[in-house]
Amino acid sequence: MQHLSTYVQHQPSGGCRIASNQFRNAFAMSQEFAGLEEGANRYELLLLAKKLGKLAGFTPATLRLLDYYFAFCRDIDWEEGSRAIVYQSLSRTALDLGVTERHVQNLEKALADLGAVTFHDSGNYKRYGQRDPKTGRILFAFGIDLSPLAAMRAEMEEKLRAKKQHDGLWMETKRQISFYRSQLRGLLAECREEGRDQLFTEYQPKYEELAIKIRTHLKLPFLQTLLERHRSLHSELVSRMGGGGTDIKQPAPEASSRERTQKCSARDAKKFVHYQTTTQQSSVKTDTRNPADHGFQKSVPAAPVHQDLISSSGVQHVKLSVAIRASSQRFRDQLPEEPDWRDVHETAYRIRSDLGISQEGWGEACQVLGRTGAALCTLITDQATHRHANRVRQPAAYFRGMIRRARDGRLHLHKTIFGLASVGGEPSHGDRPQLA
């Protein structure tokens, strides 16, 4: 005869919480809680959690619940000898948030798994408590204990520092990409203005391939790779266009000051005329450099090279009255009744900002052609934006194109000035320009 025996495995009764390492650690932290540091605010903990978000394991739903629970705490609950316990019923929390009790329990479990909260349960898991009517301190309470979040403060602050460093690098990479994109757009506009259709047609699709929208979902390694591609394309295009670009070259050995005109300050002078004006010295508002820094003055090429570029451009053939006649109406409106070359220089410098010509671009033009040449280039660019046929849409690119041609000895300013002056009337005689 066979004897059959059955073994019944008893399952744990419902209602108990399954312990875990996170649960035990959070419970131990709540028991050791000695209050926040002096001067600390409980909402600083919540702000840290919100700033970290997914990086620390928090979701929008858990942060919403945590924010809701923090509203039930008082400052006295975060002092030594107290416990930050929220003892509102589960049903009331679910009704306030517009979710089910099960959903609230799942969110609480997610916070407990992170070690941000723990449970201080009663025998039947009912949540209730009482405060001292005089001091407001909790006498007894059963519910959600928020004090473990205070123990996570050091860890969250370290993660936040790493996050800020990462975000700063991400933003800097984005800014550099934006810079190279603006440079590429300017170079492409310059190609179009100069009639280099083949070069424009070749590089415009390459730029459009890289010109994707930069959004925060893009990872930093991808952005860094994208930046290198922008740099490579920029260098390649600059090389194809002649290699000069907008880079300011280092000066050659300086010539003797005797070879300069009387109205030009010596390069070795401690106090000199700033390149923006010929009447003021260190009181110019835009001149905030250290006195030892001579700005663009120290980047002017040596006299022989400087004079050769000026001579090849024909600046020395342009008379003052011809230049004024060739200028636009708004240019002439800013000149005094009896202008001289100094007034033309200052007016051109003021107008260049309206044309979008950068200060670096103006400085490079002064290096290559002198102040008079830079002023004439600005005058021509200003006129090009007002003409009816083939109006210039990118003045800064048009200006850079003239400087590039001047470096190569292919710019003839006097011919353009004479042509513009002939439209306004017969040019009159005047003094020869002062070369700067």
Q: Per-residue pLDDT for 261 more than 70?
A: no
Tally the residues of the chain. 436
**What's the CATH code of the domain at 65?**
1.10.10
Residue pLDDT, tens place only, 390-400: 788 888 888 98
Q: Per-residue pLDDT for 253 more than 70?
A: no
pLDDT at 221: 94
pLDDT at 24: 60
Instruction: For 321, list phi and psi in degrees, rounded to 5.
Output: -65, -35
One domain for residues 265 and 411: yes
Residue pLDDT, tens place only, 190-240: 888 777 888 888 999 999 999 999 999 999 999 999 999 999 999 999 888
Q: Which residues is 370 bridged to in the sheet?
A: none
Q: Is residue 251 part of a domain?
A: no
Q: Residue 301: which pLDDT band, with cuts at 50, 70 and 90?
A: very low
Higher per-residue confidence, 154 vs 36: 154
Higher per-residue confidence, 295 vs 195: 195
Q: Residue 153: which pLDDT band, with cuts at 50, 70 and 90?
A: confident
Domain that holds residue 218: 161-240
Q: Is residue 142 part of a domain?
A: yes
Residue pLDDT, tens place only, 280-292: 443 333 344 444 4
One domain for residues 142 and 167: no
3-class secondary-structure state, position 143 = strand
pLDDT at 434: 40
Residue with tokens 């209730």: 128
One domain for residues 66 and 25: yes
Q: Per-residue pLDDT for 372 more than 60?
A: yes
One domain for residues 262 and 410: yes
Q: Per-residue pLDDT for 424 more than 70?
A: no
3-class secondary-structure state, position 130 = strand
Higher per-residue confidence, 345 vs 39: 345
Count of Cβ atoms closer than 10 Å to residue 389 Cβ: 4
One domain for residues 189 and 100: no
Mean pLDDT value across residues 429-436: 39
Mean pLDDT value across residues 260-288: 41
pLDDT at 369: 87
Question: Which of these three, 122, 151, 180, is where a domain ends?
Answer: 151
pLDDT at 96: 92
CA 377 to chain centre: 31
Q: Is residue 14 part of a domain?
A: no
Number of domains the chain is built from: 3
3-class secondary-structure state, position 303 = helix
Q: Which residues is 141 bridged to in the sheet?
A: 129
pLDDT at 2: 54
One domain for residues 173 and 32: no
pLDDT at 209: 93
Q: Which of 12-21, 90-99, 188-197, 262-271 has the highest mean pLDDT?
A: 90-99
Residue of 287, 292, 310 whose CA lies nearest to 359: 287
pLDDT at 388: 77
pLDDT at 394: 86
- The shares of helix, strand and coil residues in the chain, as percent rounded to the nearest 5, are 55, 5, 40
The token duo for 169 is 């690098």
Higher per-residue confidence, 221 vs 32: 221
| 394 close to 187: Cβ distance less than 8 angstroms | no
pLDDT at 3: 53
One domain for residues 143 and 186: no
Q: Which of 75-84, 220-229, 377-386 has the highest mean pLDDT?
A: 220-229
| 320 close to 433: Cβ distance less than 8 angstroms | yes
pLDDT at 235: 92
Question: Which of these three, 95, 126, 151, is where a domain ends?
Answer: 151
Residue pLDDT, tens place only, 97-151: 999 999 999 999 999 888 888 888 888 889 999 888 888 888 888 998 888 888 8
Mean pLDDT value across residues 89-103: 93
Q: Residue 173: which pLDDT band, with cuts at 50, 70 and 90?
A: very high
Q: Per-residue pLDDT for 274 more than 70?
A: no
Mean pLDDT value across residues 409-436: 64
One domain for residues 55 and 118: yes
pLDDT at 95: 95
Rounded to whole angstroms, the Cα distance separating 297 from 251 reads 10
Q: Per-residue pLDDT for 250 more than 50?
A: no
| 324 close to 344: Cβ distance less than 8 angstroms | yes
User: Directed axis angle between helix 220-240 and helix 197-210, to 10°?
Assistant: 170
**pTM, to two decimals:** 0.49
Q: Per-residue pLDDT for 7 more than 60?
A: no
Q: What is the mean pLDDT of the chain?
A: 77
One domain for residues 274 and 420: yes
- Residue 169 belongs to what H/E stretch? helix 153-194
Q: Is residue 8 part of a domain?
A: no
Rounded to whole angstroms, the Cα distance separating 48 from 58 reads 11
Mean pLDDT value across residues 74-84: 81
User: Checking DSSP bridges between strand 118-120 and strand 128-131, what pairing results, if any?
Assistant: unpaired
Question: Which of these three, 87, 120, 151, is where a domain ends?
Answer: 151
pLDDT at 32: 57
Residue type, position 401, single letter: G
Among the listed ranges 49-58, 73-82, 255-264, which one has the minimum average pLDDT value? 255-264
Under DSSP, the state recorded for 310 is H
Q: Is residue 322 part of a domain?
A: yes
Share of the chain above pLDDT 90, in %: 26
One domain for residues 314 and 416: yes
User: Checking DSSP bridges between strand 128-131 and strand 85-86, what pairing results, if any?
Assistant: unpaired
Residue with tokens 């002023």: 375
Q: Which residues is 105 bridged to in the sheet?
A: none
| 46 close to 66: Cβ distance less than 8 angstroms | yes
One domain for residues 134 and 181: no
Rounded to whole angstroms, the Cα distance separating 288 from 183 reads 27
Q: Is residue 95 part of a domain?
A: yes
One domain for residues 219 and 265: no
pLDDT at 100: 94
Q: Per-residue pLDDT for 269 more than 80?
A: no
